[in-house]
Amino acid sequence: MHYLAIIVNSLNKKVVSFNSISDLDDALLALFNNLDKSISRIVLSGGSTPASFYKLLSETDIKWSNYEITLSDERDVEILDPLSNEGSIKAIINNNSFNRSFISLVKEGAQSRLDLIKSYDLCILGMGDDGHIASIFPNMSNLSEALHHKSSLINLNDGYPDVSRLTMTLNEINKSKQIILLIKGEKKFNLLMDKRSDSELLPVDHLFIQMIDKIKIFKVL
């Protein structure tokens, strides 16, 4: 049996199902509140699935000075650009203390700051319809670098699929103590659970192969 098949057979044990997106958001907030440290380091992701969670954070009394926040990936655009994940999240949370806790991926020195972080307490990822995570896409020109390189960040200079991007490598994501993969919709869940040959592996498959013990799948259909 291929190693991926073994992984897929154990995925059901990793799935936590929710009846609604609000229930999922409450579970994410509970994870936030359970990080009992002087400084908790969190990796957030862009996209539509976590947007309601960010709205919940904006309505919650959180001492953001106890957090360092960054992103799994970002488009290489100005923060005020509608395509900016950072800009979108900051607009939703709308809190100056949150903004001060934020490590921007598009500012000079971002990689050096990430290199100083030994571990992240929580990483929240989404998955695209093509099985991409962060900005690690199946057909990107430097996929091997994203999957295996030891650096914290790499550039997608070919602009795939829209504009140039920055993404954490799997090596950087693997610094996370716990990873929550958000799956919304039956189509994405079925893709995740499909058994693929070793030659057909998607970025999300590599995520599980490298760090399945750290991952929980938060699913809402």
pLDDT higher than 60, residue 3: no
Helices 3-11, 186-193: axis angle to 10 degrees equals: 140
pLDDT of residue 197: 84
Q: Per-residue pLDDT for 2 more than 60?
A: no
Model pLDDT, residue 1 = 44
Asked which of 12-26, 45-59, 146-160, 167-181 is least confident by mean pLDDT, the reply is 146-160
Crossing angle for the helix pair 51-58 and 21-33, to the nearest 10 degrees: 50
- In CATH, 3-197+207-220 is 3.40.50.1360: yes
Average pLDDT over residues 96-121: 96
Percent with pLDDT over 70 in the chain: 95
**204 Cβ neighbours under 8 A, 6+ residues apart:** 127, 131, 132, 133, 181, 192
pLDDT at 158 over 80: no
Q: What is the pLDDT of residue 5?
A: 63
Q: How confident is the model at residue 217 (pLDDT cuts 50, 70, 90)?
A: very high
Strand order through the sheet with 153-156: 73-75, 165-168, 153-156
Residue 69's pLDDT is 98
Q: How confident is residue 6, by pLDDT bands cut at 50, 70 and 90?
A: low
Whole-number pLDDT of residue 221? 86
Mean pLDDT of the chain: 92
Give pTM, 2 decimals: 0.94
Strand partners, 176: 120
Residues in contact with 17: Cβ distance below 8 Å, sequence separation at least 6, in sequence order: 219, 220, 221
pLDDT class of 107 with cuts at 50, 70, 90: very high
CB 154 within 8 A of CB 141: no
